[in-house]
Amino acid sequence: MTLELNNWAAALVAGAGALLAIFLIPAIFNEYEVLQMMIYVILAILALSLAFIWGIGGILSFGHAVFFGLGAYSYAIAAINFGETTSAFLVAIIVPSLFAAVLGYFMFYGRISDVYLGAITLTVSLVFFKVANSTSGPSYRIGKAPLGGFNGIPSVPRLTVPGFPEWELGTIELFSLSVVLLALTYVGLRFLISSDFGRIVLSVKENERRSELLGYDVRRYKLLTFIIGAAIAGIAGCLYANWGNYTDPSVFALSQSVQVIIWVVVGGVGTLIGPIVGCFLLQWLTTWLTTIDTINKDVILGGILTIVVLLLPQGLVPTIRNLAWTVAARATRHEEKAV
């Protein structure tokens, strides 16, 4: 691993890819299929958030869905109460960030070990899941927004164009926005990782004690990493609430948190593109498997995870990349010999 990254080239590729997706996919596929692809894009943003805090920051959260869920719920509640969505979008980023700041403060400044960090984040997600499920009845509401218990919050207002409250985003527009936000998150994280802050975050992951001995307050860097990851997960949660015009307690579910970890592991921990690929691939596979009655998708996904961990421990993208480099190096040597 090296800190030298060609960010501008990545930004160009991501920008071109986003433009292609925005113009080609709606032209080729029908609205239902675009809606289906939109969820992959939204979940890829969630995958990127864990890719950053785990793969780059070395913090493995077993309850990452909490921030996703908080983004979805806080957007839904704010949008219903405010009657406009631009500030609700910001609330969906601020609430998970603030919660991550409080939770992270106790975890990192309390210097708990990685194992306990995993246990705490897992427990927190279970608590949110339980609480969200037990809010049935008219008495459970925040302002005008009913929490709805296991049925969740229906009729969540769609995002509107800032300054044009009547201009509600349609499916294609929301898809385009999701693609743009995925590309921006990817490029933004690349630039962040290669910034001085990102280099220090990487060093903390590499060797926490040495970073401390150099004078870096590793607690602060871990906390900031955690908050940034939570903010990105909040964006994904907000888009998720927009995607289905509802949100329910399943956004806090353990299965949701585990799924994100699997995307990152399969795609490649320590990369940004890997978790995006892992998310697309596994979500597409999950969708396809659910159409086959005789196959249990969880067994297949569990099998894939086991195979990847055993045979491709670096994940798909790093393995393919290393393979490509090896082939290219051999080809170069072969050419040199021929000359």
**Binding footprint of another protein on the chain (CB under 8 A):** 1-3, 196, 199-200, 202-203, 206-207, 209-218
In the complex with another protein, the residue whose CB is nearer, 214 or 328, is: 214
To another protein, the closest distance from the beta carbon of 218 in angstroms equals 7
To another protein, the closest distance from the beta carbon of 215 in angstroms equals 4
To another protein, the closest distance from the beta carbon of 191 in angstroms equals 14
- The neighbour count for residue 299, using CB atoms within 10 Å, is 10
In the complex with another protein, the residue whose CB is nearer, 1 or 311, is: 1
Please give the Cα distance from 284 to 287 (Å, whole number).
5
In the complex with another protein, the residue whose CB is nearer, 2 or 294, is: 2
To another protein, the closest distance from the beta carbon of 311 in angstroms equals 22
To another protein, the closest distance from the beta carbon of 59 in angstroms equals 17
Residues 6+ apart with CB under 8 A from 206: none
For residue 165, which phi and psi values (nearest 5 degrees)? -60, -20
Helices (H), the chain: 7-28, 31-50, 65-82, 86-109, 114-133, 171-194, 196-206, 208-213, 218-244, 254-267, 273-289, 297-311, 316-338
Q: Shortest CA distance to 223 belongs to which of 105, 77, 85, 334? A: 105
In the complex with another protein, the residue whose CB is nearer, 214 or 323, is: 214
In the complex with another protein, the residue whose CB is nearer, 210 or 333, is: 210
To another protein, the closest distance from the beta carbon of 202 in angstroms equals 7
Please give the Cα distance from 66 to 46 (Å, whole number).
11
Please give the Cα distance from 34 to 69 (Å, whole number).
23
Please give the Cα distance from 332 to 33 (Å, whole number).
43
In the complex with another protein, the residue whose CB is nearer, 69 or 318, is: 318
In the complex with another protein, the residue whose CB is nearer, 209 or 334, is: 209
User: How large is the angle between the packed helices 31-50 and 254-267, nearest 10 degrees?
Assistant: 80
To another protein, the closest distance from the beta carbon of 319 in angstroms equals 17
